[in-house]
Amino acid sequence: MRELALHLLDIAENSVAAQAKNITLTVKEDLVNDRLRMTVQDDGKGMDADMAARVVDPFVTSRTTRKVGLGIPLLKEAAEACNGFLKIESAPGKGTTLTVEFQHGNIDRMPLGDISGTVLTLEVAYPNIHWRFIYQVNQKTFEFDDQPVKEALEGISLTEPEVIAYLRNSLREGVSELFQDQEIIQPN
Amino acid sequence: MPSVKSLDDLKKLREEALEKRKMKTAEGKAHVIVGMGTCGIAAGARDTMKAILEFIEKENLSGVVVTQTGCIGQCEKEPIVQVVIGDQEKVTYGKVNPETARRIMKEHVEAGHIVQDHVIPV
């Protein structure tokens, strides 16, 4: 995968598979300390320490541990190649938080890519999950919580044309506002 | 298409959509499913999804439900898109790039004709 946004989508799919009801995606770009951090936090079924250690290792993955694939090991490797790390905090019944961090300015760091595309995809495709998206660039923060939108719609599909347009615009405007007056160029 | 700017607009939209739904229940709803496992994502499924949503938006297509699913075991044929119209049998398409996705939306979802050259056996 060539974009961190695609990895974010992939990790979020794991949370969905773990039967999470609430999932929070966070992206934090800190130019002062030259770090880029993404977290996916869920309230799914969680993993014991043994399983959490196993999902980051591609060589011990077996087909019976079905939600484990290549996604996490590849992302871990990419982060470590950029002075970063990937860690998983999890406990059975307590949910999982995956954190991945990169040196922001590392020449090998993948571009962030289409973050709003990733959020929009997850929003419409898993309408029964409560999604929160927090994007922070230096001191500015954009937060998108889908709860009020869903309450207003109450049972109407998120894939109605006007709703797609609304979600797309809200995400796009929120993200582009983050990059105003910053010495950083908006990805994608 | 009126542009929706606030939550109140969304509430209005909901009333309208409910009205529309009453009128068209007989036609049978369309359900579009995009494979979004690691294999699908790596093969470009998010762009396929994006093309489908843009089509719905552009053509102002009401009553289509789009969801996603994980890996269905045919990774080499990703991106995979499945279409179910009403109570008809599910049709599975393979190698669906954004262009093919638009074709499927136009020919199958809108007009009811299966896009034969992209159908894969499951």
Q: Which residues pair with B67 in a beta bridge?
A: B33
What is the average pLDDT across A130-135?
Answer: 97
A115-125 vs B45-59: helix crossing angle, rounded to 10? 70
Most A CBs within 10 Å: which of B46, B52, B110, as the mutation test of the A interface?
B46
pLDDT at B34: 95
Q: Of residues A46 and B6, which shows the higher confidence score?
A: A46
Indicate the pLDDT class of residue B104, thresholds 50, 70 and 90.
very high
Is the CB of residue A46 less than 8 Å from the CB of residue A94? yes
CA-to-CA distance for A16 and A130, rounded, in angstroms? 11
B5 Cα to chain A: minimum distance (Å): 7
What is the average pLDDT across A104-111?
Answer: 94
Look over chain A and give the mean of its residue pLDDT values, rounded to a whole number.
89
Q: How far are the Cα atoms of A66, A168, A170, B35, B40 from residue B72, in angstroms, in the given order?
A: 12, 28, 32, 7, 10
What is the average pLDDT across B71-91?
Answer: 90
pLDDT at B29: 81
Yes or no, beta carbons of A153 and B3 under 8 Å apart: no
What is the average pLDDT across A114-134?
Answer: 93
pLDDT at B2: 57
A·B CB contacts under 8 A: 101
Taking any CB pair shorter than 8 Å as contact, residues of chain B touching chain A are 1-5, 7-11, 13-14, 17-18, 34, 36-38, 41-42, 46, 49-50, 53, 56-57, 59-62, 64-68, 70-71
Yes or no, beta carbons of B59 and A13 under 8 Å apart: no
A129 Cα to chain B: minimum distance (Å): 12
Q: Which of A63-72, B12-21, B95-104 has the highest mean pLDDT?
A: B95-104
Give pTM, 2 decimals.
0.87
pLDDT at B26: 41
B119 Cα to chain A: minimum distance (Å): 22
pLDDT at A125: 87
pLDDT at A104: 96
